[in-house]
Amino acid sequence: MQNHMIKGMACVCLLISVAALAYAQKNKTDSLRLLVAKHQNDTAGVELLRKLSLQVQASRPDSALIYAQQGMDLARKFSFKKGEADCMNRLGVVLWKNGKYDRALLFLINSLKLREEINDRLGILKSLSDIGIVYSDQQDNVKALSYHFKAKAVAEELHEKRRLGIILSNIGNCYIKLNKVDSALSYEMQAYAIQQNVKDMATLPNTLSILGDINYKMGHSALALDYYRISVGYAIKNNDQSSLADNYNSMAQLYKQTGAADSSIYYATRAMNAAKEAMYPEGIYHASNLLTDMYRGKSEHLELLYLKTALAAKDSMFNAEKIKQIQTLSFNEAARQEEIAEEKHREEEKRIVDLQLIAIAIFIPFFFLVVLLLSRSRTHRKVVEFMSVLSLLLVFEFITLFIHPFVQRISNHLPVLELIILVGLASVLVPFHHRLTHWMRERLAHAAPAHHTKTRKTQPKIQNKNT
């Protein structure tokens, strides 16, 4: 009796907290709408529309798409590239949540391009992370990891702890899908520690759910259930129906494996309801698959109903046309990333060449100064003359080296035209070089120090006293 009362009170408290959260969210949504109305003709409205899209995403995904699209259109009106990229990324995330992976990837990749163009490092981090999630949901976890590790490097560079926690959790999720349990556990525990440290309650349910999956894979069913239940509590508080669907599906799968058919059907049904509310095709697909298996041989009608639901959800996510579109986008993006890497390599090589040219340009005047000082010292005249000629050679060869890229550009790398230009330059530089060499020798000859000329002291003649 007492236990029933405690459970009842707990349920009432949970319902009150959910109602209070829903009321607070409604107030926040209304406030954002009022602000959007005030800023519908300036760039401030772009960020407000993005926030409004994020606010209603969990409960009204269609409205989230509309607000994100309006934000992108407004940003384009004012040529506000950062706002355009942010809203474009928002569109990609909403489409991904709704299982439209081909369109989601298109928006996310275009957002990444725009953010790279304006060097928005935080934006680049977000795009890389979101693209990785889409590839993970497409079961291409190797490619997903490549994007997540790029995002991790940027997060560490920017000291973005909260974002780093999300990325580490996503990396752990990829590893569990690849059956690399030890790696998954390592990254997920790092993510959990960061999320607890920064008190990130919004993304903690996802990490707890993945920790449940890891323990389920390790055979720790009781511990896995604990993680799922804690995650469900956070997801209810956050009104995150997608996370609820994932957790309920995981619990249904666990109960199915342990032979508790009624519990499996119960949680799979709850997963189906949460996924439908969130318009989350992946959650619908997994729940309907579980229910198809559970009703096989028990109810032909229900088995067929859930089988049709599963096939429809799968087709909305993975039909041939969408897969082809994703493959094309992936190929184009891979080619673009290679091009970016090559451009960075070329820039690095150019930087090294420029530094060497600067070093030579500094060295030549210094070398001239050394020659000038030596010409006024006791150094042998031949040595000074040789160094002066060498300094002139350095000057003229440096001029040739410096202008050679310009010659190649003017001649468009045509050997005949390049040869004609170089010969024309040589016809001017070579005589000038000879005149300067001759002038330097003359100057050194006149400036030779007196100690280079041998002198003798004349002894006075001694007269013979006898003469």
CB atoms within 10 A of CB 267: 25
Model pLDDT, residue 380: 66
Model pLDDT, residue 401: 74
Q: Which residue has the higher pLDDT, 59 or 112?
A: 112
Q: How does residue 34 score in pLDDT terms, banded at 50, 70 and 90?
A: confident
- The pair of structure tokens assigned to 399 is 């001029």
Give φ, ψ of 108 to 5 degrees.
-65, -40
Residue 152, CB-side half-sphere exposure with 13 Å CA sphere: 17
Residue 206 has pLDDT above 80, yes or no: yes
- The pair of structure tokens assigned to 29 is 């949504």
Mean pLDDT estimate for the chain? 81
Strand residues in 104-153 grouped as ranges (E)? none
Q: What is the mean pLDDT of residues 351-366?
A: 80
Helix 281-295 to helix 241-257 angle (10° resolution) is 20
Model pLDDT, residue 400: 74
**DSSP-derived secondary structure for 210-268:** HHHHHHHHTT-HHHHHHHHHHHHHHHHHTT-HHHHHHHHHHHHHHHHHTT-HHHHHHHH
Q: Which of 349, 340, 327 is nearest to 150 (CA)?
A: 340
Among 23-27, 98-102, 149-153, 385-389, which stretch is predicted with the lowest mean pLDDT?
23-27
Q: What is the mean pLDDT of residues 392-420?
A: 74
- Whole-number Å distance between alpha carbons of 435 and 396: 13
- Whole-number Å distance between alpha carbons of 376 and 73: 74
Q: What is the mean pLDDT of residues 401-426?
A: 74
- Whole-number Å distance between alpha carbons of 380 and 366: 20
CB atoms within 10 A of CB 353: 12
CB atoms within 10 A of CB 110: 18
Q: What is the mean pLDDT of residues 256-272?
A: 94
- DSSP structure class, residue 458: P
Residue 406 · residue 383 · CB < 8 Å: no
Q: What is the mean pLDDT of residues 251-262?
A: 93
Q: What is the mean pLDDT of residues 114-133?
A: 94
Residue 23 has pLDDT above 70, yes or no: no
- Whole-number Å distance between alpha carbons of 221 and 253: 11
Please list the alpha-helical segments (H only) found in 39-120: 44-56, 61-77, 81-97, 101-117
Grouping H, G, I as helix, E, B as strand and the rest as coil, residue 46 is: helix
Q: What is the mean pLDDT of residues 266-278?
A: 93
Model pLDDT, residue 58: 75
CATH number listed for the domain at residues 23-119? 1.25.40.10
Q: What is the mean pLDDT of residues 416-420?
A: 75
Q: Which of 99, 93, 130 is nearest to 283 (CA)?
A: 99
Residue ranges per structural domain of the chain: 23-119, 361-446
pTM reported for the whole predicted model: 0.68
51 sits in which H/E element: helix 44-56
Residues in the chain: 467
Model pLDDT, residue 17: 46
Residue 87 has pLDDT above 90, yes or no: yes
CB within 8 Å of 107: residues ≥ 6 apart: 88, 89, 91, 92, 95
Positive or negative, the CA dihedral 352, 354, 360, 362 is: negative
- The pair of structure tokens assigned to 316 is 């909305």
